[in-house]
Structure formats: C-alpha cells, structure tokens
Structure 1
Amino acid sequence: MFSFAIISIERCLATVFYKSYEQCPKWLGAWFGIVQIVIPFVCSGIISTEYDFTDRFSYCSVVSRSNFDLVMQIGYIFMVCELLALIFFHVALFVNWRRKQLRATMDPTGRYQITENFRTIATITPLIWCHFLIIVLSSIIYFAYASLNPTFDPRIYPILEESSNQIYWHGVLLPFIFFALYQ
C-alpha cells in the first residue's frame, strides 16, 4: 500500500526536475526500494509491541485485543498516504499536461521526460484510484464495526476481516479497468 506513495514521490520528483531527471543519481531508485522495505517492518514492529501473545486464535492475524486500536490507526495512516499519493499524481498529471501543451520551446530531453511522465502517471492513476476505493470500502466497514462494537471480540474479528478485506478485487478489476480505458 505504501508503494503508491513512494511512486507518487518519485513521479513528483521527475515532474519537478524534468530537465535533469535523466541524469539523477542511480542510488535514488535503490533508496526508494529500501524505504518500501523498511516501512512494513517498522509497522510490524510497532504492531507487535502491543500484540497480546498470550491470546490464542483459530486464525492467523496480527490483530489482538490489545493492539486493535493501534492497527486501526496505522490503517488510517496508510489510507491518508494513499489519498496524498492520489493528490500528488493528479497535480503531477496536470503539471505535465500543461508542460506538454507548451513543449515546443523545450530541448529534446525535456520533451521526452514530460512525455514519459505524462504517460506513466496517466497509466498508474487508474490503478491507484481502484486500490484507494477498495481500501476506503474496507475502512468504512472496519470503522462501522469499531463504532458499533468498540470492544475487540476474537470470535467475530475473523468474520469481519474476511468479509471486509476486499483488496483481492484490485487484481480482479484492474484488467477490466485497463481494457475499458485503453481498448
């Protein structure tokens, strides 16, 4: 989930520094990759500090009675990151679209970078919208559950997780979305 935020930052950098982005340091991509690896480990570490290891569950979960609120907060933080990624993508898409309209006075490197930015962002934006809408649906279900049942019930939580976690639809819907957009 956090990878969309990293990709949006990378595309924003490509948009801002379009004249020299082609010569950007090679370690920049490695740095973004390291950040994408470190963030889940940090979140797992934070969640595990509050996890009640004495609880026994009949399902595999990182959520227990003691860390339910923390997991919800981290989920909302990720949702905000994805919303910011969407905003960054739309701003970068608009900026690149405007530059593409005025590209007659640019050098070939700038024209290429703007065209590449526009094409990449226009391709990735539907992917992020699909993912974001599915995450919002899952979050609404979780929020409704937390509002209606503020105490964590280990017998009901697996049913909640299985019925509200709809992220698998992302892989199912995305080919249809791309087919509809690019047929």
Structure 2
Amino acid sequence: MDIVGSAGILLLSSPIIATTAVLVRKNLGSPVLFTQDRPGRHGEVFKLYKFRSMKDIDFELGLISDEDRLTNFGRLLRSTSLDELPSLMNVLKGDMSFVGPRPLLVSYLERYSSEQARRHEVRPGITGLAQVNGRNLVAWEERFEMDVKYIDSMSIRSDLQIILKTFFAVFVRSGISAEGHATMAEFRGTSRPVTPSEVITVRDGATA
C-alpha cells in the first residue's frame, strides 16, 4: 500500500512538486532538496528528502539558528507541508511509511529510554499519532508515549484515521512550531538514557 500509494501521489502531484522546486530555487537558491541522515526501522540510517526551507548559515548576516534562517517562504512551505513532498520518495524506497513515528535525528538514538527506543520497531512515517495531536507543541516525553501507543495499537483503520486528521491539521496549520523555535527544542534525553547495548539491540532489529 505504501509503494502503490506513494507512486500514485508522486505522479499526480508532479506539477506541484515541479512548481515548488522552482520556487525554492528562486527564493532560497541551491540545493533545492534538504537531505539528512535519519534513523529508520531498527535504527537503520537512511537519507531523508525534503524541500529546503532555510537559508544557509551565514555568521556575517547573523543567520545561525534555525529560527534566524527560516524565511517567510520557508514557513509557508512548512505550514502547508509542501516541504514534505520529496519524502514520498522515501516511502517509495521503503525507508518510510505514510504513518508512523516521525524520523528524528541520529544523535537522539543514544538519548532514548528503552521504552522510547521502541519507536524504531516500525518504519518512521510522514505523519503519525503525535503529528495529529499537537505536532511540535507536544512535549518530547508525551510525543514518545504516543509513538509507542501507536505501535501497540496500529491497524489499517487507525492509519486511515491519522491520515484524515493530518489533512485537517494541515488545513488549519496547527502546531507548526514551538514558541521560540523553528520546529521544537532539541531532545536532550530522559532521566535514564538508553545504554549503548540497548542502542545496538535496536539497530540489530530486536526489541530493546
């Protein structure tokens, strides 16, 4: 379903993707795509694709933080989720699914508790339970609790419900960023971070 769905949407949305790429090139320059390593299922790292929404770091101009580098055009891309369209390629490749815990930074792997690390038992998603329940306004711990809750109760029905709620969330443009941040504050870990052996276990494919 992921493969067929992503292929179909990529084909149907190709005019929108092409137009967005031209606008990104005009407003932000090259490269048009933002790519970054992210951990997927079992912690296996893949290359995430998104449309670029920030300017390059420029110390002379004071463009250092994400908030400084995010332009009005970039905010528009994020609020409409147009920046996510290239991620359909990740779904087509099998790196991601339409629904699942959002792929976060590789550096977070060593900061999860053993329970939080369960979010890597499934493929990450373009949208997920946390994204339709507050998005970036939800605290990290609550967000990870929802990720695990999704895994424990996942079904085609719940996925369809999350997808429908995602369309509504995009329409009302809710929870795009936490106060004072382009998205949300960095996750710095819990009171008991996951041990190196647990990180290895997750990456090897077993439940931590």
More strand by share: 2
State the TM-score, normalized to the length of structure 2: 0.27
State the TM-score, normalized to the length of structure 1: 0.29
More helix by share: 1
**More relative contact order in 1 or in 2 (CA 8 Å, sep 6+)?**
1
Question: Which structure: larger Rg?
Answer: 1
